[in-house]
Chains A and B, each alone.
Chain A
Amino acid sequence: MTCNITDFLQRIFSFREDPLTSNYRENRLRPPGAVDEKRFMALCIRCNRCLEVCPYNCIRRAGLGRSIGTPYVLPEQKACYLCMACCRLCPTGALDKLLNNPEQVVMGKARIDPTICYSHLFLEHDILPETAGKRIGALCNTCYNVCPLADKAIALKNNLSPVILDGCVGCGICVERCPTRPRRAVNVIPAGMGRVDEAGFYFRKARKHYETAVSAERRGAAQPLTGEKLLEMKSKIEGPPEAPKFQFPYETPKGIEGWD
């Protein structure tokens, strides 16, 4: 009962779907080396030197609100590439000056949503997600391929589906490159952020692009297919009509000289 009341109150007072009132505005994904949010807000003098020095233009400047002028990273559009240029420059220590190893950064942690991720959908539910009218079935694994700390931050379970490991620093490159639209299958939850379900919230500020996993499930997109339907769908996947014949102009050697 108490749980329900808390949920109810949260729904009333947090206005979750509106990024202008959600707590994401007060808990953004900070640049690498940022101290914890409360101290960051106190120490950051809004001088924007990190923004100025960032060679990839990843760091943005927060707009109107309590955190106005402070730097943040919006990985959906441009992720942090962990060059660590901003940390050295911070004049007040809001970004840790001594930090120069990308593996020690704690910006946040990525989280894969298995109800959207192409690999997870295909492997676990045998679903070919529909994108722009075309059914695409893929073991995409883009997140694994682009990760700068591959095998420390992200690994392929059974060499197939991506899972996030403890080494994830939250740079967000996987989020930037993730092919699913409108919602990314992988999102970064900023360090110290209270609510997991609000990861990547800011980007979905346009209501028309907003699509929750719940509503996708309600439409039946994420329900696993079974039995006849599954067989029917799988039979639609066409292979080549007959096995290709390869012609070799030379003979394969039976043995190599000098080898035992």
Chain B
Amino acid sequence: MYRPYRRVVQISVFAAMFLIPVLNLYEIYAVTGTFYAINIGGLGIADPVVIFQAIFASGELTVPLLTAAIFPVFLALLLGRVWCGWMCPYHLLADAAAWLRGLFARRLLRIETRQGLPLSGALPANTCRFGFLIAGTIAAGAIGIPVLNYFNAPAISSTEAMIFVKERSLSLEFGFIALLLLLELSILPRFWCRLFCPTGAFVSLFRTRFTLHVGADSKTPKAPCCKENLCSLACPMGLKPFREGTNLLCTNCARCIDACRGGSSHGRLRFKGFSGQR
């Protein structure tokens, strides 16, 4: 079961979002920054899409810019989109929104919720988010401002947390996060991470066949092994994990692995990667 571990990591990252500015208030500067750019004991880490935007908008390529993006890219090459599934503070909020949505539907409206994802299917979703990324990048180059920073949900949540701790107020961008969560709660479940998030889209580009991914024991099964199709139901991204484990949308959140009962025909779903067939 990966779920408890994932929640622990998610919640600790979420708590760190508030803890870092608190520590900084007490003049402990071991970790500074927000999820736009963070500095852990001298190691500078920045959101790669933010760096990409800055390079594109300013038209210059400098060493500090590149070194800041190396670590997240390396992490993505090794473990896939674990930032999204396991760490992103917004993803935790979106999980909470999805849970609340299910709760309301079951308890209050007494209807069975199917995952009515907007733009269901991997291809339209990928097209939408890469379209958003490309459009934002072109706009950044044209205007000379890193435009996609204004739509960077995890970084904005982190910044809001910092402002909340430091100045005990919230800025207008909090409305953006609130609006996204409201939409996810009401009419567009899971839409931001699937259809728009520029960070997720950019990070998912760094994927090789050795990157950690979900797969079954047998090679590329055509049909789900159980009648209920448990893994596809569990997937928040609307994938079919038994055959689309290497899709760019997959966040390695391991929900499908937890849901899998170990079918007869092609074995259990599990994490593969590093060596290709492990």
Q: Which residue of B lies closest to A97 (CB)?
A: B64
Q: Which of B172-188 contact A (CB under 8 A)?
A: 172-173
5 A-B pairs closest in CB distance: A47-B36, A42-B58, A42-B57, A47-B37, A91-B37
> Is A53 on the interface with B (CB-CB < 8 A)?
yes
Q: A42-B57, A93-B65 are in contact. List 12 more A-B contacts (CB 8 A).
A: A38-B144, A43-B54, A45-B51, A45-B146, A46-B159, A47-B37, A48-B36, A52-B24, A52-B166, A68-B150, A91-B37, A91-B68
Task: Give Cα A47–Cα B34 distance, bound, in whole angstroms.
Answer: 6
Task: Give Cα A44–Cα B166 distance, bound, in whole angstroms.
Answer: 21
With A48-B36, A61-B163, A92-B64 given, is the CB distance from A41 to B144 under 8 Å? Answer: yes
> Is B256 on the interface with A (CB-CB < 8 A)?
no
* B-contact bits for A166-210, CB 8 A (1 contact / 0 none): 000000000000000000000000000000000000000000000
Nearest CB on A from B57, distance (A)? 4
**Contact yes or no, B44 A64, CB < 8 A:** no
> Is A224 on the interface with B (CB-CB < 8 A)?
no
Q: Which residues of B contact A51 (CB under 8 A)?
A: 162, 166
Q: What class of interface size applies to chain B in its complex with A? A: 35 or more
* A-contact bits for B60-96, CB 8 A (1 contact / 0 none): 0010110010000000000000000000000000000
Task: Give Cα A72–Cα B12 distance, bound, in whole angstroms.
Answer: 32
With A39-B58, A42-B146, A69-B159 given, is the CB distance from A89 to B39 under 8 Å? Answer: yes
With A42-B144, A64-B172 given, is the CB distance from A49 to B33 under 8 Å? Answer: yes
With A39-B58, A69-B159, A93-B64 given, is the CB distance from A48 to B29 under 8 Å? Answer: no
**Contact yes or no, A91 B24, CB < 8 A:** no
**Which of B29, B51, B54 has the most chain A CB within a 10 Å cutoff?**
B54
> Is A218 on the interface with B (CB-CB < 8 A)?
no
**Contact yes or no, B39 A52, CB < 8 A:** no
**Contact yes or no, A52 B34, CB < 8 A:** yes
Task: Give Cα A89–Cα B40 distance, bound, in whole angstroms.
Answer: 12
> Is A134 on the interface with B (CB-CB < 8 A)?
no
Q: Which residues of A contact B53 (CB under 8 A)?
A: 45
A-B contact pairs, 13 of them (CB 8 A): A41-B144, A44-B146, A47-B46, A49-B39, A51-B162, A52-B21, A52-B33, A66-B145, A69-B149, A91-B68, A92-B51, A92-B54, A93-B64
* A-contact bits for B31-56, CB 8 A (1 contact / 0 none): 01110110100001011001101100
- B→A interface (CB under 8 Å): 21, 24, 29, 32-34, 36-37, 39, 44, 46-47, 50-51, 53-54, 57-59, 62, 64-65, 68, 144-146, 149-150, 155, 159, 162-163, 166, 171-173
**Contact yes or no, A46 B36, CB < 8 A:** yes
Task: Give Cα A61–Cα B33 distance, bound, in whole angstroms.
Answer: 14
User: A49 is contacted by which of B37, B62, B163 (Cβ under 8 Å)?
Assistant: B37
Q: Which of A52-93 contact B (CB under 8 A)?
A: 52-53, 57, 61, 63-64, 66, 68-69, 89, 91-93
**Contact yes or no, B149 A49, CB < 8 A:** no
With A52-B166, A69-B159 given, is the CB distance from A93 to B21 under 8 Å? Answer: no
* B-contact bits for A91-120, CB 8 A (1 contact / 0 none): 111000100000000000000000000000
**Which of B62, B68, B146 has the most chain A CB within a 10 Å cutoff?**
B146
**Contact yes or no, A93 B62, CB < 8 A:** yes
Q: What class of interface size applies to chain A in its complex with B? A: 20 to 34
Q: Which residues of A contact B57 (CB under 8 A)?
A: 41-43
Q: Which of A103-161 contact B (CB under 8 A)?
A: none
**Contact yes or no, A42 B36, CB < 8 A:** no
Q: Which residues of B contact A52 (CB under 8 A)?
A: 21, 24, 32-34, 162, 166
Q: Which residues of B contact A38 (CB under 8 A)?
A: 144
Nearest CB on A from B176, distance (A)? 10
Q: Which residues of A contact B171 (CB under 8 A)?
A: 61, 63
Task: Give Cα A63–Cα B54 distance, bound, in whole angstroms.
Answer: 20
Q: Which residues of B contact A43 (CB under 8 A)?
A: 54, 57-58
With A91-B44, A92-B68 given, is the CB distance from A68 to B173 under 8 Å? Answer: yes
Q: Which residues of B contact A42 (CB under 8 A)?
A: 54, 57-59, 144-146
**Contact yes or no, A89 B172, CB < 8 A:** no
Nearest CB on A from B18, distance (A)? 13
With A92-B51, A93-B64 given, is the CB distance from A53 to B24 under 8 Å? Answer: yes
Nearest CB on A from B54, distance (A)? 5
Task: Give Cα A97–Cα B64 distance, bound, in whole angstroms.
Answer: 10
Task: Give Cα A27–Cα B32 distance, bound, in whole angstroms.
Answer: 27
Nearest CB on A from B267, distance (A)? 45
Q: Which residues of B contact A46 (CB under 8 A)?
A: 36, 146, 149, 159
